[in-house]
Amino acid sequence: MNRLLINKLFKYLWPPMIALKEGQCIQQIDGDDICFCLSRTHSFIQPKHVGTEIQLNEIGMKSALTLLLKIDSVCTPLEKVMYIFSSFKILEQMIRFYQKTNVTADLLFPLCLFLTIKAQLPYFDSTIYYIEEMQMQINSELSYYYCNFMACKDFVQTLCYNSLKESISQQEYEKLIVQTISSQRWTIPKTGLVIPQKLSLQKIQQLIDQKSKSNSDDFLLQYYQNIPLQELTPEDIPKILNLLQELYNDTN
């Protein structure tokens, strides 16, 4: 009965749905974005960077990752906690199998952290907020793994060089960050904005030339004027559209 009720009311309880319904950004959405973006830009992280030895391609890691990602496929807090528990329980067994030792918090947390970074959870902050707001009673065993999940969120939300400085030099960190960001394709939300057909490439070039003459120090104009069309990336499109809007406003 409880599950049925929550499923029916989920769109009024789940922070991303509330934000969509009210048409405004709320704190948990900001937290989700921060965690997701930092996880993605730090996708280069290896086990040694967070103090563990188990690699992502080891037997069991794929199952643990799959279970962790399923927290967004269910509605009730208990189901979400159970997927967290099942995922981290696998990690606990892996530590016992690969490292032939008793599992301690010092061994489990780094592996949980490594897995959550690789999972790039899109609703990390919202999940914790939702479970807390629903005031679900969690028994001691589930609570242990859930607390590890919350600690992972706190770590990911402030992830930076200082978080990893014990295992990586600043020069190597900055190099890997740049390489990771450069290699990723960031999606651009679809909008209703369409460039009129009458605004031909020749007209755009004329506008850029005109703008360049009046402001020769404008690096952005110089850049897009000289870059070959085939080298443009999806990240350049919003910048070009903004530039065209400014040029259009200046000529009217």
Nearest to 85 by CA among 36, 157, 4, 140: 140
Q: Tell me, what's the pLDDT at 196?
A: 40
Q: Where are the domains of the chain?
A: 3-183, 201-250
Angle at alpha carbon of residue 18, lines to 192 and 122, rounded to 5° = 75
Cα separation, 168 vs 161, in Å, equals: 8
- Whole-number pLDDT of residue 198: 43
The count of C-alpha atoms lying within 13 angstroms of the C-alpha of 215, restricted to the half-sphere facing its C-beta, is 11
CA-CA distance, 89 to 83, in Å (whole number)? 10
Q: Looking at residue 248, what is its pLDDT?
A: 55
**Contact (CB, 8 A) for 248 and 236:** no
Q: Architecture of domain 3-183 in CATH?
A: Up-down Bundle (1.20)
pTM of the model as a whole:
0.70
Residue 66, C-beta contacts closer than 8 angstroms, at least 6 positions apart: none
Q: Using 50 as the pLDDT threshold, list the residues of the chain that sit under it.
A: 188-199, 211, 214-217
79: enclosing H helix or E strand: helix 77-98
Contact 40, 84 (CB under 8 A): no
Tell me the pLDDT tens digit for each residue of 216-230.
435 555 555 666 655
Q: What angle do CA 182, 184, 186 make, to 5 degrees?
A: 115
